[in-house]
């Protein structure tokens, strides 16, 4: 099973985490299954950017994003070239190193 390493995030996983993911499982589902509560306001329907993550290693192993995901990512806070919506990024055979951004657009608009 591929491993997904989450870098430390003050709210979601302060010490960081290394979890096992199933090939074909979304990064979000793997995180939630392991107690890492990444925000997902649209309930995984690819309709918001709250589950935005940055894939620091293993990005090339992910299936390419589609046009809808790319359009949504354009609105994500802290967008980087290896940004993905974790509800859409499916784990392949390679291990991943993932960073959860400090903020989401929801948090910025709500003044967190």
Tens of pLDDT, residue by residue over 56-104, are 999 999 999 999 999 999 999 899 999 999 999 999 999 999 999 988 7
Per-residue pLDDT at 1 exceeds 70: yes
pLDDT at residue 103, as a whole number: 80
Tens-place pLDDT, residues 24-48: 999 999 999 999 999 999 999 999 9
Contact 6, 17 (CB under 8 A): yes
pTM for this model (two decimals): 0.91
Number of Cβ within 10 Å of residue 107's Cβ equals 15
Number of Cβ within 10 Å of residue 70's Cβ equals 13
pLDDT at residue 112, as a whole number: 46
Mean pLDDT of the chain: 92
pLDDT at residue 108, as a whole number: 43
Structural domain harbouring 43: 3-110
Rounded average pLDDT over 18-27: 97
Domain count, the chain: 1
* CATH classification at residue 60: 3.10.20.30
* Distance, CA of 16 to CA of 2 (rounded, Å): 17
């Amino acid at each position: 099973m591929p491993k997904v390493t989450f870098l430390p995030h003050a709210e979601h996983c302060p010490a960081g985490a290394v979890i096992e993911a199933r090939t074909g499982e979304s990064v979000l589902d793997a995180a939630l299954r392991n107690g890492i509560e990444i925000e997902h306001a649209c309930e995984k329907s690819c309709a918001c950017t709250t589950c935005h993550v940055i894939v620091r290693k293993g990005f090339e192993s992910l299936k390419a994003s589609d046009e809808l995901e790319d359009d949504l990512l354009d609105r994500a806070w802290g967008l980087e070239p290896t940004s993905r919506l974790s509800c859409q990024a499916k784990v392949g055979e390679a291990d991943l190193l993932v960073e959860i951004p400090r903020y989401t657009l929801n948090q910025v608009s709500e003044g967190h």
